[in-house]
Structures are given as C-alpha cells and as structure tokens.
Amino acid sequence: MKKILFLIFVVFLSFSSQATHIMGGEITWICINDPASPNIGKYIFTMKVYRDCDGTTLGTGTEILEVHSHPSVSQITLNWQITNDISPQGVGANCLDCITNPVGAVQEYIYESQPITLPGIPPVNGWHFTWDLCCRNGAIDNLDLSSTTNPSEGFTLRASMFPYTDSSGNLVPADPCFDSSPIFKEQAKTILCTGYPFSYSNLGFDIELDSLSYSWDQPLDDPVNFPFVYNPPVDPPFIPWEAPYSINNPIPGGVTLDPLSGQISYNSNIGGNFVSVIRADAFKCGQKVASVYREIQVVLINCPTLPNGIQNSPPIITAPLGAQNWLTTLNPSTGLPSYETTIMAGELVTFSVVATDADVNVTGNQQNLSLEVEGGQLDPLLALSNPATFTVTSSSPGNISGDFEWLSIVIICKTMDVVGRVGLIRLTLKHMMTFVQQMVL
C-alpha cells in the first residue's frame, strides 16, 4: 500500500458499456525563451487528462483546444505524447495497474501542441482555452447530476491568459510570448484511503516566479451550443453541488485549502467519488496574467489492513533539522504539521529530515521507505537559477533520512524599466516529500 506523508516547500464519463471514464485534467502553456531555439517567442500548450482504466481508452492521435475571444486563432491542435499509469501502489493483491488489475487504476494522457504564436493582446477578460467531453459518471457523490446511471452532464477543462501592462502604461503584445502559465509539479492523487489524515499539494510552480494564489472553483458541464462563446455559467454551465457539498466544501472530512501554498487537507471517514476544481492564479508584479484549473475526481475507499491484520499507519517524520529556525503550524482538519522560516535572499538553506515507521509484516520485517522529492526549484530544467538539491543519506527497513540544500536567490520583479528586489524570502515546508512504503518479506 502506498503511504503518503508530505513535506512542502514554500469524471468519470459513463454513457454506455464502452464509456470513457474521465477523472480530471488540466491545460497549461510554456513560453519558449531560449535564445538558441528557432521557436523563441512561441507557446507550447500541454493538456493532461486522467482516466479510470475500467473505461475505454482515450485517443492517441490529436485533440483540439478551442480558443475563445482571440481575433484570429480559434483552435490549437494537440498531439498525443505519452500515457502514464499513475495508479497508487499497493501490497500483494492490492496492487493496481491498467493491464492486470484495472478496476481502480488510473492513467494520465499527455497531449502537446507544436510551437505556436498568439498575435495580439488579450482583452480585459482574457483569452480562454477549453476542451470538453460528455458525459460524467453517475457514481459522483458531490454533484447534483441528472441520473445516477447515465447522466447528461459533461466535462470542460479550461485555462485563461490575461493582458499585462508595463510600467509605461502600455499593453504588452502576446507575440512574442513573455509569460508561461503555472504548472502542477505533483501528479494527481485520485484514489485515497478513508480514516487517515491526508494533506496534498498540487505543487503549483511558475517558471518566471510569478506569485501564485489558489482557490476552489466550479466544475463545468460541456457546452450548450456548438460553437460556443465561453461565458460560464451561461455556457458552459456550472454543475450544481449535491448538499452538503459546495464550491468551498467539495470533499468530506473538513477539507481546507491554503490559498498561498495550494495545500489541500482533510480527514474523511466517508467513502465515495468527489469532484474538486483548484484554480491557480499567476500575478506578475501584481497583475493577474494567467489562470489554470486542475479538476480531479477523488475516490475515497476503505483501504485494507496489512497482511497481519493491523492498520497500516503513516510514517513519522521529524521537523526540519538545520541552521534556520522553523515555526510549526498544525492543520486544523488533519493535525498534520507544516513548517515555516524566513530567510534573507541569498542565504544558504540547509536541513535534514528523518522518517521512521514501526509497522511490521507477519514475518516481523519492517517496511521499506522510499523518499520522492518534487518541486519546481528542484528541477534543473525549471529552476530560475541555483537549483535546490535533496540527497537521501541513509535508508534501511523502517527508516530513511535525507538532506536538503538551496542557495536562495534574489527575486526580481521587472516591469520593463523598473526593477524591484525582494530582500526577504518566506520558506514554507508542508508536503513536498512523498514517502512510499513497501513490505519486506
């Protein structure tokens, strides 16, 4: 069974026996700014779609993004790149994969455009990019659908690009490009256990280090008209919530969303299928320039015990151990800790973490812990400069530890001819490190 603790830095579709079960997705874009690239100044759009492996597969050809409010570009062609099995790992018969045990397994389909230009300037309300499909799964518990077997409500993914004004008061053209949207560094978590406190971060990251804020948003139906003018909730319509759920309460268990880090936390004893939508807004020097939406259908299940019949408890992780002083905050829904420190820009940040787990199998052997670390500043391809590093320093059954190091950078806000330097950086660690437990037999 995959057991998760995090330490952070900073629908189903069913209309026949051959239904494609969509569990969510997102649309993002990058701006090519490599001077050596022949496509500098162009955009590459990426769409990720998550599907339940118990339904029919998605296409491995092309998909079309609809473009709204742009004077000359109405569609963007996306080419299939890869399909990944992102099913939660398990122990023994509980292992899931799309080939041998598809019920509950999940696949991620990734589609990408060729480099493209977007001439002009977005209007005040933005350019919008959408992809839609019909219909949702009737098993969803938190949406008021027309049927529990064959609902007519569909599914629309979306993202938005907004105008940007420089320090002279001039609107900046989108060609050549100057901004990438936020991306989500953490894979979607779709199947989770009830009865455990759980915290999860989508790990939103902006390549230009634009400020990010997070909000809940509404799931959209598929469009009423074809072609349609993007104007929710007129078209596509919002899908109403099934009481007691709402836009700010989409998941049982006292769910909370941190607007600064995007961390979602809850502790649910209720199983079922629950749709949620997270919106990440990017602000460049105080101006909103992009909104991206990640929709995820979470399936909460009663997970089995270990082979010896006892509960599989989460690992215990220490607070960061290092030169900085860390403030500990407990999440009100889960009781799980987060840690925060403030440093001077340019300061070296170092700390160690240690995780232990006392659970044993019927043979008396402890479980193996592996440590997965994710984040934009840890990715050499995305880090603005001075990539952070994390090194596992020791690992044995029931124990694992590692060291983090980052030479922090001076954050610069450029508005053409005005440069502002930020002297203080607040560093928050909540759920960036994922611990995976496996049995040693």
Q: Where are the domains of the chain?
A: 21-438
pLDDT of residue 1: 36
pTM, two decimal places:
0.86
pLDDT score for 437: 34
Measured between alpha carbons, how far is 54 from 394 in angstroms, rounded to an integer?
A: 39
Compute how many other C-beta atoms are within 10 angstroms of the C-beta atom of residue 293: 23
pLDDT of residue 89: 67
Which residue(s) pair with 338 in the sheet? 329
pLDDT greater than 70 at residue 439: no
- The Cα-based distances of 341 to 54, 151, 427, 428 in angstroms read 45, 48, 5, 6
Tokens read off for 358: 């006392």
Range in 63-77, 90-104, 203-217 with the lowest mean pLDDT: 90-104
Work out the burial of residue 99: count CB atoms within 10 Å of its CB; fewer than 13 is exposed, 13-18 middle, 19 or more buried: exposed
Specify the pLDDT at position 13: 29
**Of residues 77 and 428, which shows the higher confidence score?**
77
Determine which of 84-98, 176-190, 258-272, 363-377 has the lowest per-residue pLDDT on average: 84-98
One-letter-per-residue 3-state SS of 282-324: EEECCEEEEEEEEEEEEEEECCCCCCCCCCCCCCEECCCEECC
Phi and psi angles of residue 299, each rounded to the nearest 5 degrees, phi first: -110, 110
Mean pLDDT of 76-105: 77
**Which of residues 366 and 56 earns the better pLDDT score?**
366
Lowest mean pLDDT among 16-30, 198-212, 276-290, 346-360: 16-30
pLDDT tens, position by position, 254-296:
999 999 889 899 999 999 999 999 999 999 989 999 999 999 9
φ and ψ of 264, to 5 deg: -105, 130
Predicted confidence at residue 401, as pLDDT, reads 93
C-alpha 89/C-alpha 112 separation (Å) is 27
Q: What pLDDT sits at residue 95?
A: 66
Q: Among 10-24, 133-147, 347-361, 381-395, which is the least confidently predicted range?
A: 10-24
By CB atoms closer than 10 A (0-12, 13-18, 19+), residue 288 is middle
DSSP characters for 196-265? S-EEEE--EE-TT--EEEEEE---BPPPSSSS---BTTTBSPBPPBPTT-BTTB-STTT-EE-TTT-EEE
- Which of 296, 375, 331, 353 has its CA nearest to residue 106? 296
Provide the pLDDT for residue 83. Answer: 95
Q: What is the DSSP letter of 183?
A: E
Q: What is the pLDDT, as a whole number, of residue 427? A: 52
Residue 252 has pLDDT above 90, yes or no: yes
Of the candidates 248, 376, 277, the one whose C-alpha atom is nearest the C-alpha of residue 26 is 277
What per-residue confidence (pLDDT) applies to 410? Answer: 65
User: What confidence tier does 150 reach under pLDDT thresholds 50, 70, 90?
Assistant: confident
pLDDT of residue 436: 36
- The average pLDDT across 130-154 equals 90
Please state whether the peptide bond connecting residue 240 to the residue before it is cis, i.e. omega within 30 degrees of 0.
no
Is residue 147 helix, strand or coil? coil
Helix runs in 304-414, H state only: none
Residue type, 246: S
Q: To 5 degrees, how large is the angle CA 58–CA 59–CA 64?
A: 110
Distance from chain centroid for Cα 264: 10
pLDDT score, position 343: 84
User: Which residue reads 């057991």 in tokens?
Assistant: 3
pLDDT of residue 362: 67
Identify whether the C-beta of residue 214 lies closer than 8 Å to the C-beta of residue 265: no
14, two tokens: 């069913």
| Structure confidence at residue 162 (pLDDT) | 98
- Write down the pLDDT at residue 10: 34
Q: And the tokens for 276?
A: 């949620």
The backbone torsions φ and ψ at residue 94, rounded to the nearest 5 degrees and listed phi first, read -90, -5
Q: Residue 421 has what pLDDT? A: 34
Query: What does DSSP assign to residue 360?
Result: B
Sequence-distant (6+) residues with CB within 8 A of 387 are 377, 378, 379, 380
Is residue 154 within 8 Å of 182, Cβ to Cβ? Answer: no
How high does pLDDT run on average in the chain?
84
Query: Under a CB-based contact definition with an 8 Å cutoff, are residues 429 and 320 in contact?
Result: yes
User: What's the rounded Cα separation, in Å, for the pair 290 and 127?
Assistant: 10
CB 161 within 8 A of CB 126: yes
- Looking up tokens 């019949």 gives 309
Q: What is the pLDDT of residue 192?
A: 85
For residues 38, 70, 13, 60, the Cα torsion angle rounded to the nearest 10 degrees is -30
- Residue 9's pLDDT is 34
